[in-house]
Amino acid sequence: MSNKPRDKRMSIDEVVGSLESGMTIGIGGWGPRRKPMALVRAIYGSDLTDLTIVSWGGADVGLLTRAGKVRKLVYAFVSLDSVPLEPNFQRARQNKLIPEVVELDEGMFQTGLRAAAQRLPFLPMRAGLGSDVLVNNPHLRTVTSPYDDAEELVAVPALELDVALVHLNRADEHGNASYLGPDPYFDDLFAMAAKKTYLSVEKVVDTAGLTVDSPVQRLLLSRMMVDGVVETPNGAHFTTCTPDYERDERFQKAYAAAASGSDEDWQAFHDRFLSGDEASYQAAVQAFGEETDK
């Protein structure tokens, strides 16, 4: 019997084919930064429905709400940074197209992931006390410290995930993965909070190569945390994937204009960029860039 770690490389279609309607899916990254957009685009074009999405949201939330995939959304914000409120999300929220929403303080969101990662039903914290977070989320409860202080704290429930989807810069075929940019964006918490984690990366390298471009401390995920690895060059587009590339502001502007426009505007954007597979998307993005460079 071989002791060699198994090869976990998969295709985008294989990952999405393993998902089921009704699942709770956590999406890593942070707003418009290092989102697993190739996987999100594949879900957008799939038959999956009735999803619970847990995300520090950006275009991932925008696309999936626009496609009517989301039954429940758990989020701390949904932003594109230079576009403060993600326009597809704004449309869905204002028109009550998301049946259930849970809006949390950013610290509470992180604490919920930590509770799930530690296999705890909840973790206590002070954030939320005296705020409308508790008013707007009546399912949230408080607990009293069992010690002499008897302090009242918010009991933040675990954000348990069926699946986590994250995007990093490099990985080996076994699922060990590193980020090369300035921030891990809590992707390790998403992985530990989930029953299964699928990882998309800019490049699959041999294990020794994971430490070539970055110090060892930027190894974020171990193979024990990852169930599948997908090599997707430019797979975080149009979000950042520093240092491989920065956010495509011109494309984001076109996306935001289509999302904020008429149904016909969005349909034209969909037909050009989102109606095919990932290779078709990347080809259309390249053509768009060449046009705008003229």
Taking residues 29-49, report their average pLDDT.
98
Mean pLDDT of the chain: 95
Give the contacts of 76 (CB within 8 A, at least 6 positions apart): 56, 57, 103, 104, 105, 106, 108, 109
- Let me know: does 179 contact 213? Beta carbons within 8 Å: no
The pLDDT value given to residue 217: 63
Calculate ∠ Cα 187-191-193, nearest 5°: 115
pLDDT digit string (tens) for 233-274? 999 999 999 999 999 999 999 999 999 999 999 999 999 999
How confident is residue 218, by pLDDT bands cut at 50, 70 and 90?
Answer: confident
pLDDT band at 215 (very low <50, low <70, confident <90, very high): low
List residues bridging with 219 in a β-sheet: 178
What does the block give as tokens for 193? 């909070």
Q: What average pLDDT does this structure show over 128-142?
A: 92
Name the DSSP letter for residue 241. B
CA–CA distance, 234 with 181 (Å, rounded to integer):
15
The pTM score is 0.95
All structural domains of the chain with their residue ranges: 12-107+159-207+215-293, 122-157
Tokens encoding 184: 């891990």
Q: How big is the CA angle at 232 (ends 229 and 234), to the nearest 5 degrees? A: 145
Rounded mean pLDDT, 25-54: 98
Q: How many other C-beta atoms are found inside a 10 Å radius of the C-beta of residue 93? A: 18
**In this predicted structure, what is the pLDDT of residue 213?**
65
Cα(76)–Cα(108) distance, rounded to whole angstroms? Answer: 8
**Cα torsion for 28, 190, 48, 121, to the nearest 10°?**
-140
Mean pLDDT of all residues in 138-149: 95
Identity at 267, one-letter amino acid code: Q
In CATH, the number for domain 12-107+159-207+215-293 is 3.40.1080.10
For residue 208 the two structure tokens come to: 């020794």
